[in-house]
Amino acid sequence: MSVLKAFLLVAGRGERLQPLTDRTPKCLLPIQGTPLLQIWLEHLDRSRVDEVLINTHWLHEQVHHFVKQWSAGHQRMKVSLFHEPALLGSAGTILANRQWVGADPFFIIYGDNLTWLDLQKMLDFHLKNQQPLTIRIYRGADPGRAGIVCLNENGIVIDFEEKPRKPKSDLGAGGIYIADRRIFDFFPNPEQRPVKGVFDLSYHVLPRMAGNMQAYASGEFSLDIGCPVTYQKAQEIWAEKMVADS
């Protein structure tokens, strides 16, 4: 029986949201009263994800306490915590937990996104196309804040560049990926990785995967809440959703 797993990456300091993040980790900032991390855990649970690994760093005690309290009332989905005394970067986190991954496809999710993306539809798409990695994309990306992709006629990502000065398209990476163990074939050798600092998917792995990534453009709402303007926008959009769902 396959086990569906997800990395939920939330360890960053949230410096663009200071002073809000001086005493509260970014993943616990409320969206209309509900911590973003809770929104994600509930979404993953509804999406039939079986196991989640959350990395922690900044104010990690608060995150650990919150997850313990949440998990006490949600027994189906197993949530594990991976503390990073020094930030490893997204690729570093995944590599350090390579044995946790297993044989089945897994999600890689940047937890500062607010979305109601249908994860099961994205998984079906990934399984159908059989590339080592599926990357959610959206149009109208700000190249100063996103990875920019170029596609061929079959929707294969043929170029990926993080925050380029001269973007080649307006298609951005949406912070949600599905990969399988083949992704590790594209990790640089140890001598090619950063000696100091973070080891990042966007800078050190995804550019090497050009030609081996399938783009997924669902058109569903997704918003990076990592700066004050988008955090405020998230409050407004979520309030409208709550009214529509009531």
pLDDT of amino acid 6? 98
pLDDT of amino acid 197? 73
The CATH number of domain 5-245 is 3.90.550.10: yes
What is the Cα–Cα distance from 143 to 162, expressed in whole angstroms? 8
pLDDT of amino acid 1? 61
pLDDT of amino acid 192? 81
Output DSSP code: residue 82.
E
For 88, 93, 100, 165, 244, the CA distances from 96, given in Å and listed in that order, are 9, 5, 9, 31, 41
pLDDT of amino acid 180? 96
Taking the model in full, what pTM does it have?
Answer: 0.95
Task: Walk along the chain (246 residues) and give the pLDDT tens digit of each residue.
Answer: 689 999 999 999 999 999 999 999 999 999 999 999 999 999 999 999 999 999 999 999 999 999 999 999 888 999 999 999 999 999 999 999 999 998 999 999 999 999 999 999 999 999 999 999 999 999 988 888 899 999 999 999 999 999 999 999 999 999 999 999 999 999 998 888 887 778 999 999 999 999 999 999 988 988 999 999 999 999 999 999 888 887
Beta carbons of 135 and 150 less than 8 angstroms apart: no
3-state secondary structure of 109: strand
What is the Cα–Cα distance from 189 to 106, expressed in whole angstroms? 22
Domain coordinates in residue numbering, the chain: 5-245
What is the Cα–Cα distance from 211 to 135, expressed in whole angstroms? 12
CA angle in degrees (0–180, nearest 5) for 143-91-173: 30
- Bridge partners (DSSP) listed for residue 236: none
pLDDT of amino acid 145? 87
One-letter amino acid at 214 equals: Q
What is the Cα–Cα distance from 67 to 65, expressed in whole angstroms? 6
For 2, 159, 245, the CA distances from 48, given in Å and listed in that order, are 12, 32, 21
What is the Cα–Cα distance from 192 to 15, expressed in whole angstroms? 28
